[in-house]
Amino acid sequence: MNRTIAAPKGVPEYLPPASAAFIAVREALSRPARHSGYGYIETPIFEETALFARGVGESTDVVSKEMYSFTDRGGRSLTLRPEFTAGIVRAVIEHGLDRGQLPVKLWTQGPCFRYERPQAGRYRQLQQVNVEAIGGDDPALDAEVVWLAVAGYRGLGLTGWRLDLTSLGDRSCRPAYRELLQQFLRKLDLDEETRRRVEINPLRVLDDKRPEVAGQLVDAPLMPDHLCAGCERHFDAVREHLTDLGVSWSDAPRLVRGLDYYTRTTFEFVHAGLGAQSGIGGGGRYDGLMADLGGQPLSGIGFGLGVDRALLALEAEERVVVSGGRVSVYVVPLGEEARRRALVVATELRRAGVAADLAFGGKGLKGAMKAADRSGAVCAVILGERDIAEGVAQCKDLQSGTQRAVPLVDLVRTLKETLES
């Protein structure tokens, strides 16, 4: 016998009926952007490897350890996207979207790929809803973008999260801060690898949760205390706008993101019910990325929300996002003639906008009624040979169990009325 083949390790799948919740979550997380002037963009799942190396940063774990890279038959090095931002910025530059009205406001959704060690909430294929606004320095834009994410979570009814917010400075104040932080870190008692990190990416060290390291970081200099006047003003204005919008946040001066492009406003959504993988979404400004990728020196801000993690957060809060069945009506034919008729009846219902399914393969009454119950339908339409001869169908309310004969010519209209009442 052939061996069975399983899905690759660390890849979640969403199967019916649970997949309905996956779609509902994606819808809810993207709704605020769709209602705020953001246009949909679909970029390729794979890109030239150099895009991520340059865009996301060689020193990040995402690029140095987690990329799914391969050489295609033409000898090109390609990589499955580990995130959306670099690809979207590339597309904006390539297609000149930044030559029109600014900011360019875009949203997208889909899978990203990271070769991480799989565990609960950490997958190798992860799903995001992603938003970018490119070509705008206005702090009101930062607040709009943060609000879009907040509104997405609120739309799902999620409550157990908090917004961590900070500013990472810009090219005029971060280098001096980085130097200061390195001077502080070089004096500490750190292992070899962490010492190396101090030289390459000192901000990441601030995020070290190991007690022997974290204990030494209590007095570390923090970026928000070393912002230049421009960054300080920008950050103050963002916070004022967020207050106007009724968004509360926690100051997170040690917040470090896993991608290198961030500047100024940076944020993360953290859910208390998820254990180690508590980041349900995150984002920030990336004011140097357009130029780094060969475009005009325009600023940008955006976020990625983890759809898989939002689903886990809903589960942790015991919230149901979808109720109701897959269909409203289930058609049950009894006999040869009825089977032909059943497909026509179901199709007429579907054409009229009523979600309908039917029993295939000559199921008996018992089996077909079981299938009707499982479908979540409100009503079963039972077609018997004698009923058809008399020009009627039996409509059974699957909750109350009551049944009545309805003339076939009136069936679609009657069912629509019943379902809408």
Which stretches of the chain bind ligand HAM, using CB under 6 A? 83-85, 114, 116, 121-123, 126, 128, 130, 132, 258-259, 279-284, 286, 302-304, 306, 308-309
> Between residues 66 and 348, which has the closer beta carbon with respect to ligand HAM?
66
Closest-approach residue to ligand HAM (CB) = 306
Q: Classify 64 in phi/psi space as left (phi over 0), alpha (psi -120 to 50) or beta.
A: alpha
> Between residues 280 and 332, which has the closer beta carbon with respect to ligand HAM?
280
Instruction: Tell the smallest beta-carbon distance from residue 145 to ligand HAM (Å).
Output: 9
How many C-beta atoms surround the C-beta of residue 414 within 10 A? Answer: 16
User: Considering only CA atoms, which of 307, 290, 217 is closest in space to residue 55?
Assistant: 290
Side by side, the strands of the sheet bearing 356-358 are 356-358, 329-334, 379-384, 392-397, 403-407
Q: How do 125-134 and 69-71 pair as beta strands?
A: unpaired
Instruction: Tell the smallest beta-carbon distance from residue 182 to ligand HAM (Å).
Output: 24
Instruction: Name residues whose C-beta falls within 8 Å of residue 224's C-beta, 6 or more positions apart in sequence.
Output: 166, 167, 235, 251, 253
> Between residues 86 and 412, which has the closer beta carbon with respect to ligand HAM?
86
Residue with tokens 């931002």: 85
Instruction: Tell the smallest beta-carbon distance from residue 142 to ligand HAM (Å).
Output: 11
> Between residues 52 and 330, which has the closer beta carbon with respect to ligand HAM?
52
How many C-beta atoms surround the C-beta of residue 19 within 10 A? Answer: 12
Instruction: Tell the smallest beta-carbon distance from residue 10 to ligand HAM (Å).
Output: 8
Instruction: Tell the smallest beta-carbon distance from residue 284 to ligand HAM (Å).
Output: 6
> Between residues 71 and 250, which has the closer beta carbon with respect to ligand HAM?
250
Instruction: Name residues whose C-beta falls within 8 Å of residue 171's C-beta, 6 or more positions apart in sequence.
Output: 263, 287, 288
Token readout for 363 is: 């199921």
> Between residues 114 and 396, which has the closer beta carbon with respect to ligand HAM?
114
> Between residues 47 and 308, which has the closer beta carbon with respect to ligand HAM?
308
Angle, helix 192-200 to helix 174-186, in steps of 10 degrees: 160
Instruction: Tell the smallest beta-carbon distance from residue 113 to ligand HAM (Å).
Output: 9
Instruction: Tell the smallest beta-carbon distance from residue 220 to ligand HAM (Å).
Output: 22
